[in-house]
Structure 1
């Protein structure tokens, strides 16, 4: 791959011309749309003269028919019929604003609508104003940057690098716009791994959807993966995005690649589902971590109340400050009856937040009891640009293979956190990530992309093998369920039990307690077997609280996935002799240091 960062740095330097006339937080309003326009200009350059020569032949046609004919000549799903390009724009420095507008209006409808989402016309006025007078110089800089040698993947990197820089300047959240590419590649590998026999069929056509598609990175990488696997396969991609700049960038990428840009919808996925009646073969997404849904609360609650399970949010509503499980429910509402696979990345909260019969727990229960959760992969921390927290990839499907039915696979791909392991040469504990030479925001680690013994290849292998080992655990669905019981004890007055009219002891609310009782327990052979509430209560509670009882009217059912507990390995404390020796060595160093200072 060419050095996309060099291109991004060249474009970033154009922002130096905006200094003084623009706040740093507004640089993106100029740089991003001009990068898109320059990219379109470079792509169309080889056929621009042919389009202009063909114009008289379609002059009498309707606008829609004219677009189709000129697109064919241009070789893309768009064209530009203006006499201008970037070379000609800078050749007439006295009329650059009017000529630039003429050039933009010369794009076919699909491309012009993309540019309009940047509201770039306002910036033309601002830069052309005599007080600034920077429009010509900015265009000249872009004219000197050749983007014709960049493929779609590389341009995606360029846009993401620019967005990251702009987000840092304005203290915005860069991670809301894009996902590190190696994370996407891993997710795509996991998404398609079970279906390789299907995807290698000649002429196969599949659909893929991302409800928070950002600049389109996930859609692009999935399409590239399938094309590499089977050049005769077709992946039709769909998405929705709430940020206008990211939306415009994504649509321009779809346009250049020959995808249908109308498949990308604008707006809040929760409030206006732009693809309400569509179902998809695959879904892939990185929704914003911990995003609150207060603005959409009225619409979401109304849909949940009126439509129930026939709508998107019937399984439950999570707490208002984290809409992650709303995104997942939205995606699951678009599963095809004959089989859909979903890969989505979350923080840890959706795995365990919420007590029994809370919104989150009920959603987990719905997914697990329907046997839709296939696997969860715990990822290293410090992978993302805007946060150092650990993340988890969920694989959800309504079409599990026979061997996976009724089971959930957990993969611990966090790698070693204890540097002592590395010092001892135990490198097998860190087969998941490399430390970056230079941090990018909070991103200090990356997952290696090549080979099968580390990184993406190794994690995909762990998933595909579906075997238990130190990194992979497999449990029946019931393993994650539990009953939350309310344990009551009698109210005492002057040492006597207080009873109600029926002679039953009244509970003392001040000493009321709760117990979570797992559905399954390990027997003497270490095998998981069903567990009864009364049996647990008798063996685990009664010996300590002989007068206690269960208020069965308050018993609740919950589901959670506690990753740390399942992969916990006890580390014995160091011997006292070793600790004593370390302390004495430190004391000796301290004495030597004191003597050196005093001398």
Structure 2
């Protein structure tokens, strides 16, 4: 496949001069699609022509062609690339006629502005050699199957985006990552998928070029060649949409189910749900362009996709996470529901503190038992990033043993280094490693390092698996207060703060009046305010309540020996500068993992971990919040002891010796 893709892309050498490198893809990709469609139609062209001649009505033609050839589309033109070349003087017109001869559902070429490219190449005397080159490529299904075409498009897209310095990973997911995700999502439904006449619907809301759907279809066909699989896709990028649609067209899928548009701004499959939902949304991409629609849907609460919460505008990946769960088929009377799989970076695991949008989203997923498993992938798996990536497997009808549980699988050491990197992609998941990860998932229970290493490649430590209760990832964020203790004194330094205070500058002559107040050190706020108040009043000045507060704030300094400041009801006032937050996990200290165990668990934590160190502290129960975090790395952290000092010293001595030897050579 790499040879074929390199050969196809080598045709771009013919475009040097008239086109810039970033424009090569707008020629190579549509020509590849055209040649693929041509090769698929080739065995049926005669029957297709006869069917087309029987009617001028497009709908009738489509029906006649499908009946005669089984093809879901047709081309009314008599041209092929080879035939168009027979009249080189009119090649551009012939190709335009050929492209426009496709039935209406084949609208993919307009998204490349292909007609304009044809005329541009013709004007530059490049159209004939480019057409000749593509006419020689055999892209028949017998020579290149659907999976192979997916791989071909993968390489071509990478080349295109590499040439234009764009992000290939935004529109294409590596096949090894897709295969692993599909295997994991389908793992719980394998027996049912093999049943006669089974029907399943698969949906990708950020479809790119349709790679996930293609792999999902191939997976199902392997299990059950007679299965009925309906594919649905939405994609925002026109060129990627065009490739995905042409791929679906060739496979005989209903291409009305491939739609162009911004999924976050408008769900073009609103009201529809699916057996399987797969997605690799872009990482770290903002959703400003969709913000109005997203916020409007958020206000609808449970009636909208984004009711649980909103992430920061700078990262829309968690919006896709919520969208995926909303599109999984609801549980029916027989207990059947939907499963989902999504590729995410590390931030959705932990970003945002208690009460934030991301935390509330995680809480929604965990409290509703929607997270089945999370798999950590090796770094350098994707074209446009080398950062850590994770597969989230979602399920609304878990198997009994998985209910209330989340499985974490560390597969970071199962990557195989590629012979030649593609952008940031330097590592891939081999078929053997993929099987091991799926086997670990199916085993469900925790896997020790020794057990994992025994069944994995010798070069890798193997995947490790740990199983947690959903509420193992829940915690209380507890606000700990300490009393405010201040001393008060009118000094020249503190008077400078009075002069700089905006509320107090409105009181004319205040600084001068305070300058005549004695410099006694007060440890009691009420006593100080009483005395300084009398002094100010005797000089004909008055302070409002806000100004009185501003005065003691600027004249007070923290003092552990001072009396506690109290409010009007005699309660200690908190010192905001000493305020602290403690994280108390659900189930801490052997308490039950439950929301109604808040008082017992938090108080026990406070008594054991806080009170012995700060006896005057207290809990502000009104500020307590529930948060959710999945600290994946912490659960799989491996301590590596530092090297012995003797070894380090030996290495340093050896390095110094080498340096001295080099210096002696220079001196000679």
SS of structure 2 residue aligned to 1:435:
strand
Alignment of 1:107 with 2:102, yes or no, is yes
Task: Choose the corresponding residue for 2:72, options 66, 77, 90.
Answer: 77
SS of structure 1 residue aligned to 2:76:
coil
Q: CA RMSD in A?
A: 1.7
Separation of aligned partners in 1, 2:638 and 2:85: 66
Alignment of 1:268-347 (within 5 A): 268-305=262-299, 307-338=300-331, 339-347=337-345
Separation of aligned partners in 2, 1:476 and 1:54: 61
Alignment of 1:186 with 2:183, yes or no, is no
Shift of 1:251: 0.7
Shift of 1:75: 3.2
Separation of aligned partners in 1, 2:648 and 2:99: 73
Separation of aligned partners in 2, 1:586 and 1:496: 62
Alignment of 1:467-546 (within 5 A): 467-470=445-448, 471-494=464-487, 495-521=562-588, 523=590, 532-546=601-615
Separation of aligned partners in 1, 2:70 and 2:374: 43
SS of structure 2 residue aligned to 1:360:
helix
Q: Deviations over 1:293-322 (max 9, x none)?
A: 0010011101111x2111111000100011
Q: Higher mean Cα deviation, 583-592 or 434-443?
A: 583-592
- What is the match of residue 560 of structure 1? 629
Shift of 1:335: 2.0
Q: How many residues align?
A: 568
- What is the match of residue 26 of structure 2? 29
Shift of 1:32: 1.1
Q: Higher mean Cα deviation, 260-269 or 115-124?
A: 115-124
Native 8 Å contact 1:483 1:519 kept in 2: yes
Q: Deviations over 1:30-64 (max 9, x none)?
A: 111111111111111122123224444x13x5321
Native 8 Å contact 2:161 2:167 kept in 1: yes
Native 8 Å contact 2:202 2:229 kept in 1: yes
- What is the match of residue 522 of structure 2? none
- What is the match of residue 530 of structure 2? none
Task: Choose the corresponding residue for 1:5, options 2, 6, 19.
Answer: 2
Task: Choose the corresponding residue for 1:365, options 356, 363, 366.
Answer: 363
- What is the match of residue 147 of structure 1? 139
Q: TM-score, normalised by structure 1?
A: 0.92
* Rg comparison, structure with higher value: 2
Separation of aligned partners in 1, 2:424 and 2:131: 33
Q: Deviations over 1:397-416 (max 9, x none)?
A: 1101100111111111111x
Alignment of 1:463 with 2:418, yes or no, is no
1:74–1:116 Cα change, 3 Å: farther
Separation of aligned partners in 2, 1:6 and 1:263: 33
Separation of aligned partners in 2, 1:150 and 1:579: 56
Native 8 Å contact 1:44 1:74 kept in 2: no
Task: Choose the corresponding residue for 1:572, options 622, 635, 641.
Answer: 641
Shift of 1:559: 0.1
Q: Deviations over 1:458-509 (max 9, x none)?
A: 1111110011123111111111001111111111122221111111111111
Separation of aligned partners in 2, 1:335 and 1:228: 23
Task: Choose the corresponding residue for 1:258, options 252, 256, 259.
Answer: 252
Native 8 Å contact 2:343 2:389 kept in 1: yes
Shift of 1:597: 3.5
1:55–1:362 Cα change, 3 Å: closer
Q: Deviations over 1:490-537 (max 9, x none)?
A: 11122221111111111111121111111123659xx98977001101
Native 8 Å contact 1:14 1:138 kept in 2: yes
Alignment of 1:159 with 2:118, yes or no, is no
1:413–1:267 Cα change, 3 Å: same
Native 8 Å contact 2:386 2:424 kept in 1: yes
Alignment of 1:81-230 (within 5 A): 81-111=76-106, 113-129=107-123, 132-148=124-140, 149-230=143-224
Native 8 Å contact 2:65 2:72 kept in 1: no
Shift of 1:228: 0.4
SS of structure 2 residue aligned to 1:240:
strand
Q: TM-score, normalised by structure 2?
A: 0.83
Native 8 Å contact 2:51 2:64 kept in 1: no
Native 8 Å contact 1:312 1:333 kept in 2: yes
SS of structure 1 residue aligned to 2:219:
helix
SS of structure 1 residue aligned to 2:289:
coil
- What is the match of residue 425 of structure 1? none
Q: Which runs of 5+ in 1 are unaligned?
A: 416-431
Separation of aligned partners in 2, 1:538 and 1:586: 54
Native 8 Å contact 1:490 1:505 kept in 2: yes
